[in-house]
């Protein structure tokens, strides 16, 4: 027999003898590791789903590339930048934008929002028009309309109102003695024509025409803060970024979608890591049951150990019996845990058992990385505990 230690370990676990304390404790150890494994895999899969879902939402409004000034707010030599972009074959479309804080007043209710002025090319760069769930998109022929986030709409009770305008106030640049409100703010009236729903980052946003944003800031028609870009997808964002940087020089800052989403990705990765560490701790605690099982098994098989020693079996081989026993228990628990978690995941994907909101179920994504992380973690900890405890055989 090639591996007598493994054979004896299997006999200890799958023996058809009557149930005793060792079998009960082994069953408890399997259940504990099984539940911890399933929980870890579910958490990792849900976080993967949330990350993908949020990135999808971000891609609706975040451009593939963005050009902004390295210093200051306003793009200098806008005509030059536009000429460079028009010569780039890899650029499909681009849009001029302005983003600034604005004070909004509607029927006596006030809020501070982020106003983003966009031109008519913006829907070629992003998919903002696809996240409107009430009303309609902007009319670029008029500089008196905007669309509002669901968060601001709820706070101000400002949904779709083409009769009563909201007051938009933008602080004026410059210094000096202020004698009246008009000295401090530029004020424009505009109507809410639609409501959009995105993620928390855009909870305090309103989108309006570039012309209205320029009027609020008292800009000329050829002034803006940034240019957002859509590529044809044939080259990587970083490759096009490097080409544009070489053409435009150091006076301009060029960011890819990954750069713009970096803060969100860092938060998601930290949350994912914390969840992983918490459930790894749960698995470590569950492994105490495994350690207890092996210790009791060693005590229960004390006479058999003496018999095997007298027949010339080495201490290493005897220790391997109990190490293999712990490893097999861990493997069975891990396999059953992954199987149960996968079934739960399939049910969630197909039937939406648990909802993140009234209409959106928690996303669940199967990935090789998550399977690998769970397998390595559970088998690694189980093997380590089994090796430590099996050393107690003298």
Each residue's pLDDT tens digit, 257-295: 888 888 778 888 898 899 999 999 999 999 999 999 899
127 compared with 342, residue with greater pLDDT: 342
Does residue 305 sit in the same domain as residue 381? yes
Residues 305, 358 contacting (CB under 8 angstroms): no
Residues 254 and 269 in one domain: no
* Selected residue with higher pLDDT from 176 and 90: 90
pLDDT score, position 192: 97
- Is the Cβ–Cβ distance between 52 and 193 less than 8 Å? no
For residues 11 and 122, membership in a common domain is answered with no
Strands 252-256 and 109-118: unpaired
Residue ending a domain, among 209, 242, 260, is 260
* Average pLDDT value over all residues in the chain: 89
Count how many domains the chain has.
2
Both 234 and 85 in one domain: the answer is yes
Q: Are residues 45 and 76 in the same domain?
A: no
Residue 310 domain boundaries: 4-58+264-390
CA dihedral (362, 368, 370, 372) in degrees, to 10, reads 160
pLDDT-derived band of residue 1, with 50, 70 and 90 as boundaries? very low
pTM of the model: 0.75
Q: How confident is the model over 371-382, as pLDDT tens digits?
A: 999 999 999 999
Asked whether residue 219 falls in the same domain as residue 310, the answer is no
Are 284 and 368 contained in the same domain?
A: yes
Per-residue pLDDT tens over the stretch 94-125: 999 999 999 999 999 999 999 999 999 999 99
What is the reported pLDDT for 185? 84
Tens of pLDDT, residues 298-337: 888 888 888 888 888 888 899 999 999 999 999 999 999 9
Domain boundary among 225, 242, 260: 260
pLDDT-wise least confident of 87-91, 138-142, 297-301? 297-301
- pLDDT given for residue 358 in this prediction: 72
Q: Is the domain of 105 the same as that of 231?
A: yes
Residue 19 has a pLDDT of 53
- For the segment 22-65, what is each residue's pLDDT rounded down to a tens digit? 778 888 889 999 999 999 999 999 999 988 887 777 777 889 99
Residues 91 and 219 occupy one common structural domain: yes
- Same-domain pairing of 54 and 72: no
* Residues 211 and 73 grouped into a single domain: yes
Residue 242 has pLDDT above 60, yes or no: yes
Higher pLDDT, 386 or 54: 386
The pLDDT score that the predictor gives to residue 181 is 56
Please tell me the distance from the alpha carbon of residue 267 to that of residue 275, in angstroms, as a whole number.
12
Asked if the model's pLDDT at residue 213 lies above 60, the reply is yes
288 with 227, same domain: the answer is no
Q: Give the domain-ending residue among 260, 281, 314.
A: 260
């Amino acid at each position: 027999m090639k591996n007598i230690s493994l054979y004896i370990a299997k006999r200890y676990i799958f023996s058809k003898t009557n149930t005793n304390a060792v079998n009960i404790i082994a069953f408890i150890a399997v259940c504990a590791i099984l539940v911890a494994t399933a929980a870890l895999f579910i958490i990792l899969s849900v976080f993967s789903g949330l990350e993908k879902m949020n990135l999808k939402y971000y891609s609706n409004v975040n451009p593939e590339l963005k050009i902004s000034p390295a210093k200051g707010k306003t793009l200098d030599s806008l005509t030059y930048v536009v000429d460079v972009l028009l010569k780039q074959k890899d650029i499909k479309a681009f849009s001029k934008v302005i983003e600034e804080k604005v004070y909004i007043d509607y029927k006596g209710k006030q809020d501070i929002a982020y106003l983003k002025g966009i031109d008519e090319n913006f829907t070629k760069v992003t998919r903002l028009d696809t996240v409107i769930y009430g009303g309609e998109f902007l009319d670029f022929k008029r500089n008196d309309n905007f669309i509002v986030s669901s968060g601001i709409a709820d706070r101000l009770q400002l949904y779709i109102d083409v009769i009563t305008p909201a007051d938009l106030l933008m602080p004026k640049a410059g210094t000096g003695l202020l004698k009246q409100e008009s000295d401090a703010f530029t004020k424009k009236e505009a109507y809410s024509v639609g409501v959009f729903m995105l993620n928390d980052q855009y909870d305090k946003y309103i989108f309006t025409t570039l012309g209205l944003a320029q009027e609020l800031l008292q800009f000329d028609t050829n002034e803006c803060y940034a240019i957002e870009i859509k590529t044809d997808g044939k080259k990587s964002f970083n490759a096009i970024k490097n080409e544009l940087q070489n053409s435009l020089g150091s006076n301009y800052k060029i960011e890819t979608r990954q750069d713009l989403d970096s803060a969100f990705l860092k938060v998601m990765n930290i949350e994912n890591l914390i969840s992983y560490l918490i459930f790894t701790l749960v698995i470590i605690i569950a492994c105490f049951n495994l350690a207890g099982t092996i210790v009791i098994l060693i005590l229960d098989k004390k006479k058999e150990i003496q018999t095997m020693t007298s027949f010339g079996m080495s201490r290493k081989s005897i220790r391997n019996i109990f190490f293999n026993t712990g490893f097999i228990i861990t493997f069975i628990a891990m396999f059953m845990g992954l199987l149960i978690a996968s079934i739960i995941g399939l049910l969630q994907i197909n039937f939406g058992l648990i909802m993140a909101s009234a209409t959106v179920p928690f996303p669940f994504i199967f990935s090789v990385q998550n399977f690998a992380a769970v397998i390595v973690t559970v088998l690694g900890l189980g093997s380590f505990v089994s090796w430590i405890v099996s050393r107690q055989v003298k």
